[in-house]
Amino acid sequence: MKSVARSGLARSTLVRSLILVAIVGLILLAVSAFIGDYRNTQLATGAYFFAALAGLTVLAGLSGKISLGHGALMAVGAYAVALLVGNEHWPLAAALAAGTVAAMIIGIPIGAAATRLHGPYLAGLTLAFAVGLPALADTYPSTFGGENGLTINPPTAPSWLGANFSFEHWEAWVACLGALIVLFVLYNLIHSGIGRSMRAARDDEIAAALCGLRVGPTHTLAFVVSAGCAGLGGGLLAVVNELAQPGAFPLALSLSLLTGVVLGGLGSLAGAVWGAALLVFLPSWTTDLGHAFSLSNQVAFNLPLAIYGIVLIVAMLAWPSGIQGGVRAIAGLVRSRFAARSQPAEVAPESQG
């Protein structure tokens, strides 16, 4: 193990990220082959949430900024994909790329403002964005389809996969591929020189500027990359749900993303997996719970939002580093036990919490 880590090949971030993506990809491929259509849709849902959450958590971890507007940025990606696939008949991959770019372009002015704003100012600005944007769909119903939104046809699997290959299975593949691309890009960003400049700008803007870093563009870049991840996540959401409608992007979506990120631990890519799992399973659990205890629809429908709120408060008051932080603390404890016996412990925390 040690000798591998020391060799030049594995020290290259690019190689390590490719190995990571390949392993995760193979696992996802195997999992999606063994589960049914319903579970595949859940897998696809988790994949698009992961894309958005990973972008949000890297923003929080690398530049110390929080965005409440990522739900609205997902809407930008979703509507772009729905318009391009539905009206212009673009191929799916091109439309998803365009959705990503659209969200990045919208992210530029917000990111530029974000470089100068601290804490609650940025939170308020992005909150205003999240509340304001869905109104566009109602204002221009001929373009955006009003309350009903835009529907798109489910993507068809290529014929070489066989006639029995369900479209849910194919959607899971598409969404997981998107999530893997996000993982690849963000992993390399975190471990690159740009990622280090972002952390330097986060920790002390003035010191970083004195060292010759261009603090403003660095912060803006972090926000724009993060917005692109949310746009791709939103585009995949439109593909998986076959629909882009304003009701899918309420303020509650942005808050649930925030909950996922806080629960997973701010800045942790692995934590984004926990967050995505929460966002996928919590609504179906609460629906089941509602049936089991014969709660009224009114209660069951609002239960996830209440749980998100409780998680946010409890996490901040009791456990600010999230699940992944807890896992890391336990792992660190175990590792230092072993290391204490053989040699001095390595002080190289992977995280940017």
Partner 1 sequence: MTKFIDLTLSGISDGAIYAAVALALVLIWRATRVVNFAQGAMLMITTFIASAVINSTGSYVIGLVVALITGFVFGALVERVLIRPVEGGPPLNAVIVTLGLYSILVAAAGMIWGNTPRAFPAAFSLRGYKVGGTTLLFTPNDTFIVLVVLLVAAVLALLFRFTPLGLQMRAAAFAPEVARLLGTRVGRMFTIGWAFAAVVGSLAGVLVAPEVFLGPNSFDPILISGFVAAVLGGLDSPPGAVVGGILLGLALSYVSGYWQSALVPLVAFVILLGVLMVRPTGLFSAARERRV
DSSP structural state of residue 154: P
User: Min. distance of Cβ 251 from partner 1 in angstroms?
Assistant: 6
Q: Which residues bind partner 1 (CB under 8 A)?
A: 60, 64, 66, 68, 109-110, 112-113, 116-121, 123-125, 127-129, 131-133, 135-136, 138-139, 204, 206-207, 250-252, 255, 258-259, 262, 298-299, 301-306, 308-313, 315-317, 320
Here the tokens at position 174 are: 């598409």
Q: For residues 64 and 325, which CB has a smaller minimum distance to partner 1 in the complex?
A: 64
CA distances from 272 to 53, 263, 278, 323, 325 (A): 6, 9, 10, 10, 12
User: Min. distance of Cβ 33 from partner 1 in angstroms?
Assistant: 37
Q: For residues 140 and 338, which CB has a smaller minimum distance to partner 1 in the complex?
A: 140
Please report the sign of the dihedral spanned by the C-alpha atoms of residue 299, residue 304, residue 306, residue 310. positive
Q: For residues 53 and 236, which CB has a smaller minimum distance to partner 1 in the complex?
A: 53
Q: For residues 37 and 147, which CB has a smaller minimum distance to partner 1 in the complex?
A: 147
Determine the Cα–Cα distance for residues 30 and 146; give it in Å rounded to an integer.
Answer: 40
User: Min. distance of Cβ 210 from partner 1 in angstroms?
Assistant: 10
User: Min. distance of Cβ 279 from partner 1 in angstroms?
Assistant: 14
User: Min. distance of Cβ 314 from partner 1 in angstroms?
Assistant: 8
- Give exposure, 216-239, as e/b (b: 16+ Cβ within 10 Å): bebbbbbbbbbbbbbbbbbbbbbb
Q: For residues 11 and 116, which CB has a smaller minimum distance to partner 1 in the complex?
A: 116
User: Min. distance of Cβ 31 from partner 1 in angstroms?
Assistant: 31
Q: For residues 275 and 304, which CB has a smaller minimum distance to partner 1 in the complex?
A: 304
Q: Residue 115 — φ and ψ, nearest 5°? A: -65, -25
Contacts of 128 (CB under 8 A, 6+ apart): none
Determine the Cα–Cα distance for residues 157 and 169; give it in Å rounded to an integer.
Answer: 9
Determine the Cα–Cα distance for residues 34 and 25; give it in Å rounded to an integer.
Answer: 15
Here the tokens at position 243 are: 């629909």
